[in-house]
Chain A
Amino acid sequence: MAVTTDWQKSAYIAAQAADARVNVELETEGMTLNLGPQHPATHGTLRIVVRLDGEQVVWAEPICGYMHRGYEKLCEVRTYPQVTTLINRIDWLGHFANEVPFILAAEQLMGIEAPPRAQWIRTIFFEMARIANVSLFLGDMGIQLGAITPVFYAFRDREYVLNLMEAATGGRFHPNFDRIGGLKEDLPRGWVDECHGVMTRVISFCQEMEDLLMGNEIFQTRTRGIGVIPAAVGLEYGLSGANIRASGVDWDLRRDQDSPLAWKHCDWKVWTHPDGDSYARYWVRLQETREAARIIVQLLDGLPSGPIQAKVPRIIKVPPGEAWCHTENPLGEMGFYLVSKGGRGPFRVKIRSASFNNISIVPWLLRGVYVPDVITILASLYFILGDIDR
């Protein structure tokens, strides 16, 4: 075997070590298992090479890039309104939440701020994107463990949220609704009342999931104490979002940074769990969905009236400069570093997406676990392939 790269070198050493150890004890050979690229647990095309010693994982390496679409380069040849339609597609389940940090970064450079009504509606859609994203996880975690029912419930109730998105923005998955300086349109009549009804449904869905899955003894034995991430290790690998909150780190950008969005006007709580295992990650996300529904209900009640668009020129040119803006997206911290040279489009965009950092812990986390737990750990880390490869 020609050893050329670091990656090949470590794979080779791990294979040698596994073979040597196994041969002495059981006279079996180590085995390399290719998980993916088309494995359903990977939510897309992520390939994970796993070196096995019997039932135990000795070494694992995620290989990403199968779905690389070159967003950072694509953004450089698009104008600002065109960029929004592209970055919708980064994390396709938390669609609207992708647009917000980019628009905020551009607004920061232009020195304009959207009127309060636009900020409140933005926050409502942001949290709705969170519900649409995380509720799928709540069902999908069940299907990775062999329980088929929860995913149908998740799709059923997620549909109501997506219908609301479509009624207001025109797109179910790609709203393209956020504009520099405000929003595209105001809400249609009767939307607020309808949204109240859907939020009641979402809260009852969370209760259903808790009864159906979290109390289940099989679910608990498969997730408790499996895939434990200590807080220090999680921070070293740069985890964010619910993954790090499940390790007991009280860190949430919605609360911790001074954002123009409307979270500061609501009464809500950041949930953390001390355990750091798969169960904790599920629990934290379940609580987050509940909190998101609570935030939306509060925002709907206090929705201010007024314009939804600040004054912006027809052809948007962002003054030269650099801006960094990050928000707490459904999957974790998502940030845009925007460099402008004064043109109609950005000069350079650096996208910090949550999933890429979240899966970087996979080699550390999968070492020593058993094969069936690989799937549950990957499912509980919850990544979206579009968010990893961009």
Chain B
Amino acid sequence: MPQVPGLLKGLGVTFKTMLKPAVTVQYPHVKEAPPTRARGVIALKEENCTVCMLCARECPDWCIYIEGYKDKAPPRREGGKPRTVQKLDRFDIDYSLCMYCGICVEVCPFDALYWSPEFEYSEVKIADLLHDKTKLGEWMGTVPEPPALERGAEAKKGAKK
């Protein structure tokens, strides 16, 4: 059997690929949805935050800035003492420094931080990448439900809702 020259065989591969439809999309016009677990941007649920500073301490490049104050909240029961709660003054994440490792979301003991797959927040000025608590709160609307787990997985106790 005569051997097909390698050059022609290779051309056959390119020809076959040429007949297939393109796999790329024209980005600004057509958008592909990232998966639900994608680490796009961190969203903040302000009412859950107790200013415990765990996220700021565990962040590997220290890009979270937190300031808080003590406030009086109405008592839980009728006639009880007013409670002391911690409120946020400032919660900033500097996305020009963030490494998107997700440690802050993981260590948060009160479920105040969530990942959102949103990624279109580039800015002209680097200083605008510092998102304050109102902007981080706006991302909460884009946080998806966590996906169901694969067959054979054990449900995590106290999984985030």
Against A, the Cβ 8 Å flags (1 = close, 0 = not) of B137-150 are 00000000001111
* Majority DSSP secondary structure for residues of B touching A: loop
Contacts of B148 in A (CB 8 A): 188-189
Shortest distance from the beta carbon of A222 to any chain B beta carbon, whole Å: 13
State whether B13 touches A176 (Cβ < 8 A). Answer: no
State whether A308 touches B153 (Cβ < 8 A). Answer: yes
Q: Which residues in chain B, 84-125, are within 8 Å of chain A measured between CB atoms?
A: 99-103, 106, 115
Provided the pairs A78-B60, A149-B14, A189-B147 are in contact, do residues A184 and B37 lie with their beta carbons within 8 angstroms?
Answer: no
State whether B101 touches A85 (Cβ < 8 A). Answer: yes
State whether B37 touches A167 (Cβ < 8 A). Answer: yes
CA distance A153 to B17 in the complex (A): 9
B36 within 8 Å of A (CB atoms): yes
Q: Return the contact of A174 from the options B7, B99, B149 (Cβ within 8 A).
A: B99
Provided the pairs A171-B100, A216-B6 are in contact, do residues A304 and B152 lie with their beta carbons within 8 angstroms?
Answer: yes
CA distance A332 to B150 in the complex (A): 32
How many of chain A's residues touch chain B, expressed as a range? 35 or more
Contacts of B36 in A (CB 8 A): 188
Provided the pairs A79-B58, A215-B6 are in contact, do residues A306 and B103 lie with their beta carbons within 8 angstroms?
Answer: no
Which B residue's beta carbon lies closest to that of A171?
A: B39
A16 within 8 Å of B (CB atoms): no
CA distance A215 to B13 in the complex (A): 12
Q: Considering only CB atoms and an 8 Å cut-off, how many residues of chain B contact the other chain? A: 34
Q: Return the contact of A188 from the options B100, B149, B152, B156 (Cβ within 8 A).
A: B149
State whether A82 touches B58 (Cβ < 8 A). Answer: yes
The winner among B9, B35, B99, B152 for most chain A CB atoms within 10 A is B35
State whether A85 touches B99 (Cβ < 8 A). Answer: yes
B154 within 8 Å of A (CB atoms): yes
B12 within 8 Å of A (CB atoms): yes
State whether B102 touches A176 (Cβ < 8 A). Answer: yes
State whether B150 touches A176 (Cβ < 8 A). Answer: no
B38 within 8 Å of A (CB atoms): yes
Provided the pairs A163-B35, A171-B100, A174-B101 are in contact, do residues A187 and B13 lie with their beta carbons within 8 angstroms?
Answer: no
Stretch in A54-62, A206-214, A272-280 touching the partner: A206-214
Which A residue's beta carbon lies closest to that of B57?
A: A79
Shortest distance from the beta carbon of B116 to any chain A beta carbon, whole Å: 11
Contacts of A117 in B (CB 8 A): 152-153
CA distance A117 to B154 in the complex (A): 10
A145 within 8 Å of B (CB atoms): no
Contacts of B152 in A (CB 8 A): 117, 303-306
Contacts of A258 in B (CB 8 A): none
Q: Return the contact of A211 from the options B9, B60, B147 (Cβ within 8 A).
A: B9
Shortest distance from the beta carbon of A349 to any chain B beta carbon, whole Å: 15
Provided the pairs A174-B100, A174-B101, A211-B13 are in contact, do residues A216 and B153 lie with their beta carbons within 8 angstroms?
Answer: no
CA distance A354 to B37 in the complex (A): 31
Contacts of A212 in B (CB 8 A): 9-10, 13-14
A81 within 8 Å of B (CB atoms): yes
B151 within 8 Å of A (CB atoms): yes
CA distance A174 to B98 in the complex (A): 13
CA distance A81 to B148 in the complex (A): 25
Q: Return the contact of B151 from the options A305, A307, A308 (Cβ within 8 A).
A: A305
Against B, the Cβ 8 Å flags (1 = close, 0 = not) of A190-218 are 11100000000000000010011111111
Contacts of B9 in A (CB 8 A): 211-212, 215
State whether A184 touches B106 (Cβ < 8 A). Answer: yes
B127 within 8 Å of A (CB atoms): no
A262 within 8 Å of B (CB atoms): no
Shortest distance from the beta carbon of B158 to any chain A beta carbon, whole Å: 13
State whether A189 touches B150 (Cβ < 8 A). Answer: yes
CA distance A85 to B60 in the complex (A): 8
Shortest distance from the beta carbon of A85 to any chain B beta carbon, whole Å: 4
Q: Which residues of B contact A (CB under 8 A)?
A: 5-7, 9-10, 12-14, 17, 23, 34-39, 58, 60, 99-103, 106, 115, 147-154, 156
What are some 19 contacts across the A-B interface (CB < 8 A)? A78-B60, A79-B58, A81-B58, A149-B14, A171-B39, A176-B101, A184-B106, A185-B37, A186-B149, A188-B37, A188-B148, A211-B12, A212-B9, A215-B10, A216-B6, A216-B10, A217-B5, A305-B152, A307-B154
